Amino acid sequence: MAGEEIIHENTLYAEPIAHIGHFEITNALATSTVALVIIVILGIVINRNIKKVPTGLQNGLEMIIEGFLGIFDGITGSRKKSLQFAPVVLAFFFFILINNWMGLLPGVGSIGQIVEEHGQLIFIPYLRGATADLNTTLALATLGVVLSHIMGVLAIGWWKYLNKFINIKAFLEIPKKIKKDPMVILVNPIKAFVGIIEVIGEMAKIASLSFRLFGNVFAGEVLLASMSAILAYGVPIPFMFLEVLVGLIQALIFAMLILTYLTINTTAEEH
């Protein structure tokens, strides 16, 4: 085995590193868990040291939050809505940001185990950037879009919200209006068909959100691995700074899109 080549490549899927019964733990899941623990610990520490008159770290954090709320106001058009959606949107932002940046830390992707598969030696890292796994980004996108629909139902009522997608109201109006306006028999079914397009659009949101985040983060990992293979010292450093910026931008884009969906779905059509 000493002379055999060890294969180490960036895979599109997360690799299993352990099992709990029939439950498979992947390296992306392990990284996500670490990121979640970091967020919880930071939340507890910050919450314990909150003062009425902010100083030091609290002052800086309040400036950051106020900056975010200012950006949110430009999308929601209301400080009330910004404050309502901020906990959800910021949770997405910080979770994705930490996961994006964790993929750049030394040891993430380079410390792991060697297993034999189909006569080949495969290197499997214990940790990998969770957002470089399509399963993670797909789960985040699905959660965000589903949550926007739940908030929409709570904000404008299930009947109005249902008619945005399955326009039952348009069909019910045909018998009432057909005498005054015969064209309603053509127009209202078209309105109902537009609702079906809305359903397709919601599915497209999940696909675009998940693939955008996954594609950018995974491409960054491949780029850094390629640069490291060319020359391990010096060459990857500028690209690492670039990936830090990309990780921040992608987390912000994802969060802003979730905020946009929340705002649109909680606004009645007549408004």
The answer as to whether 1 is a domain residue is no
Among candidates 119, 115, 85, which has minimal Cα distance to 15?
115
- CA atoms of 235 and 164, how far apart (whole Å): 52
The answer as to whether 90 is a domain residue is yes
pTM: 0.82
Tokens describing residue 201: 């659009």
Q: Please report where in the chains the tokens 């950018």 appear, as a residue.
A: 216
Among candidates 142, 139, 259, 149, which has minimal Cα distance to 204?
142
Q: How confident is the model at residue 206 (pLDDT cuts 50, 70, 90)?
A: very high
The number of beta carbons lying within 10 Å of the beta carbon of residue 181 is 13
pLDDT tens-place string over residues 214-242: 988 888 877 777 776 666 565 567 777 88
pLDDT tens-place string over residues 246-266: 889 999 999 999 999 999 988
- CA atoms of 240 and 88, how far apart (whole Å): 29
3-state helix, strand, coil in the chain (%, to 5): 70, 10, 25
- CA atoms of 216 and 193, how far apart (whole Å): 35
| Four-point Cα dihedral 33, 36, 41, 46, nearest 10 | 170
The answer as to whether 96 is a domain residue is yes
The pLDDT of residue 2 is above 60? no
The answer as to whether 41 is a domain residue is yes
Cα angle vertex 206, ends 22, 90, to 5°?
90
Beta pairing partners, 116: 121
pLDDT tens-place string over residues 167-196: 766 666 666 677 677 767 767 677 777 777
Between the alpha carbon of residue 19 and those of residues 23, 26, 27, 29, 32, the distances in Å are 6, 9, 11, 12, 16
pLDDT tens-place string over residues 55-108: 777 788 888 888 999 999 999 988 889 999 999 999 999 999 999 988 777 767
- CA atoms of 82 and 68, how far apart (whole Å): 9
pLDDT tens-place string over residues 194-203: 777 778 888 8
The answer as to whether 223 is a domain residue is yes
* Structural domain harbouring 224: 6-265
The answer as to whether 271 is a domain residue is no
The answer as to whether 19 is a domain residue is yes
Please tell me the predicted confidence (pLDDT) of residue 82. 92
Strand, coil or helix: 220: helix
How many domains does one find in the chain? 1
Q: Are 141 and 209 spatial neighbours (Cβ–Cβ below 8 Å)? A: yes
Cα angle vertex 43, ends 250, 70, to 5°?
50
Q: How confident is the model at residue 9 (pLDDT cuts 50, 70, 90)?
A: low
Number of alpha carbons in the 13 Å side-chain half-sphere of residue 206: 19
The answer as to whether 270 is a domain residue is no
The number of beta carbons lying within 10 Å of the beta carbon of residue 188 is 20
- Interhelix angle 236-265/56-76, rounded to 10 degrees, is 50
Q: How confident is the model at residue 117 (pLDDT cuts 50, 70, 90)?
A: low
pLDDT tens-place string over residues 123-162: 777 788 888 888 899 999 999 999 999 998 998 888 788 7
Q: How far is CA 158 from the centre of its chain?
A: 26
Beta pairing partners, 19: 24
